[in-house]
Each structure stands twice: as C-alpha cells, then as structure tokens.
Amino acid sequence: MKRRIQQLLFLIALGMGSLAQAQQDAQYTQYMYNTVTVNPAYAGSRGHLSIAALYRNQWLGLDGAPETQTLNIHTPLGYRGVGLGLSVVNDKIGPTSETYFDVDFSYTIQTSFEGKLSFGLKASAHMLDIRYSELDEYLIDNQLNQGDLRKFSPNVGAGVYYHTERFYAGVSAPRILETTHFDESSVSTAKEQINLYLITGYVWDLNPFLKFKPTLLTKAVQGAPLQVDVSANFMLNEKFVGGLAYRWDAAFSGLFGFRISDEMFLGLAYDRETTDLGGATFNDGSFEVIFRYDFIRNIGNLKSPRFF
C-alpha cells in the first residue's frame, strides 16, 4: 500500500503525458512571513539582516506526502537601495525531491515619504531527484525502470515589491524558464510552467493594543486552477498573532504567532482540506511552522515590530 501511494504521489508531482501541465512551486500557508521565497524584490526590505526557517508537512498520516523545508537569509547592503538574499528550498513528494538554491538581488527607490518600490532578480540552481526504484514493484511495465534520475537545471526569476509602514503589494515570477525534465522521446514528460504571484496586505490599528492585517496571495499557472489564499490576522500587544485563512476550494487554516522578542518570531499554521482528500481517514491535515530572527542593530529607533 505504501508504494502504491508513493506511485500516485509521483504521478501527481511530475505528471504523465498530458498531465504534465501542473502547479509545481511549493505551497505555503504562512506566505506573509516567507515573501522572499516567491518575490526576490523583498530581499533587504526589512531594513536589517533577517533569517527565516520554515517546515511544512502536508496531509499528515499519508506516507510519502508533500514535505517542504525552506531556509532564507536576506539583508540590505552598504550600497544605498541594494538588497541581497540566499534561499534553499527542499520539496519532497513520494519518491521525488526538488531542491532550489536561490540568490536574490533587489534595488529599492524611495517613491514618497513612506513608500518604497523594489525591483528584484532571482538566480536559481534546481536539483531534481527521482527514485524510480521505489516504484518498480507496482509498475505495469518497465517503461519507467530507467534507474534513479538526478538532473540539474538553472532558472531565473523577477519581481516588483512596493511597501509602506502599513501596506505592501508585489508581483513576481520566481521561475521564468520552462524547463523540460525529460526529452520528447521519453515515455514521461514533466515541464515546469511559469508561476505568477500577486501578494498584498494592509495593517489597521483597531486600537492602541490591537492591529488587524488582511492579506491576499494569488498564484496563476497554465494548466492548473487559479489559487487564491486570503487570511485575516490580528496582533495583540505587539506580541501575539492569531487568525484564520482560506485557500479557495481547498482548505481552511488556523494561524498562531508569538513574537518572543523584537528579534524573534515563531509562527504556526494548521490546514484542514475541504476537498474529498480532507475527509480521508489517513489525512490528519497539514502542519507548518516558521521561525524568524531579525538582527536589529538599534532597538531604540524601532517604532514597532514589523507585521510583514
């Protein structure tokens, strides 16, 4: 049974024949704290060195289900308006794993007293690892019995990001090159499509102790349904964050965050699918945790902790 499930997950991940046109970028519920992964223009926008680590386990209880680890670091440089970031994203599903090594570059211009507009570029090294040996037992024939596959491919991305102290919006395409992982003579073809992202949010002060921040992420890719994520988060006393999120026709989520100090933030999210998969006895939902540390040089000049 375990290998049958892994085989199914393999087909979902890469696609077979006409199913190859699918959504491939890793999925995040706490995208509002992980912006640099999808938009290189965010690099350096926090005004200081920032490190974040994220772990996501999707469809708990299902062997071989999607699992994602992300580590990113970004900072403004000594040159005015320049930001630099480094990211590692490891995405596993069944017998396949993909690892991205990203370098992000941004340039920011002041558009008004509070507004800043950033332009970003991303350079990626993509490592694809497919372990066919884990599928052999249940393959109908030997068409895929080609030994394990390891393939390297480069990619590039771009983005634009605008923000003030209360509002942000960005448009990006983190992987622009449409890489084909198998040649046309192969039985299987998997082709990465361009994923387009729109991300935005706004922070309201409801009273001196409570802030409210709705956010939106929209992801579009050819051959897959439009993904729309909306969330509503509240911050109490600049410390505690709680909220709800909805992924259109896919899942409801609960979010909780705690600002341990001005430098440290811990965020948790739990998803419950609204699809037929969500009602399966082997699926206990999806879990996500993120930890971020900001190297704030001068606490005395910090007006309030950043909500995004």
Percent composition of the chain: helix, strand, coil (DSSP 3-state, to 5): 15, 50, 35
pLDDT, averaged in runs of 10, over the chain (308 residues) = 48 41 72 95 95 92 86 90 96 89 97 95 93 60 60 94 96 88 53 88 96 96 89 96 95 96 95 73 84 80 64
Q: Quick check: 54 and 288 in contact, CB under 8 A?
A: yes
Locate the domains of the chain by residue range. Answer: 44-133+150-179+196-294
The reported pLDDT for the residue numbered 144 is: 53
- Cross-strand pairs, 70: 54, 89
Rounded Cα distance, 69 and 66, in Å: 10
CA separation (Å) from 11 to 4, 24, 54, 89, 144? 11, 12, 26, 21, 12
Give the pair of three-digit tokens for residue 118: 């950033």
CA separation (Å) from 187 to 95, 277, 286? 18, 29, 33
The reported pLDDT for the residue numbered 21 is: 40
Q: In degrees rounded to 5, what are phi and psi of residue 200?
A: -155, 160
The class (CATH top level) of 44-133+150-179+196-294 is mainly beta
pTM > 0.75 = yes
The reported pLDDT for the residue numbered 121 is: 98
Pairing of strands 210-220, 204-207: antiparallel
Query: Amino acid identity, residue 222?
Result: Q
Query: Amino acid identity, residue 272?
Result: R
CA 40 to chain CA mean position, Å: 12
Q: In degrees rounded to 5, what are phi and psi of residue 132?
A: -60, -30
Q: Give the position of tokens 């926090």.
A: 46
Rounded Cα distance, 31 and 219, in Å: 12
Give the pair of three-digit tokens for residue 221: 């890719």
Task: Identify the sign of the CA torsion 187, 26, 123, 51.
Answer: negative
Rounded Cα distance, 54 and 70, in Å: 5
Q: Quick check: 248 and 224 in contact, CB under 8 A?
A: no
Q: Quick check: 137 and 3 in contact, CB under 8 A?
A: yes
The reported pLDDT for the residue numbered 19 is: 36
Q: Which residues contact 156 (CB under 8 A, 6 or more apart)?
A: 121, 122, 123, 124, 175, 176, 177
Q: Quick check: 265 and 51 in contact, CB under 8 A?
A: no
Rounded Cα distance, 247 and 84, in Å: 31
Q: Residues in the chain, how many? A: 308
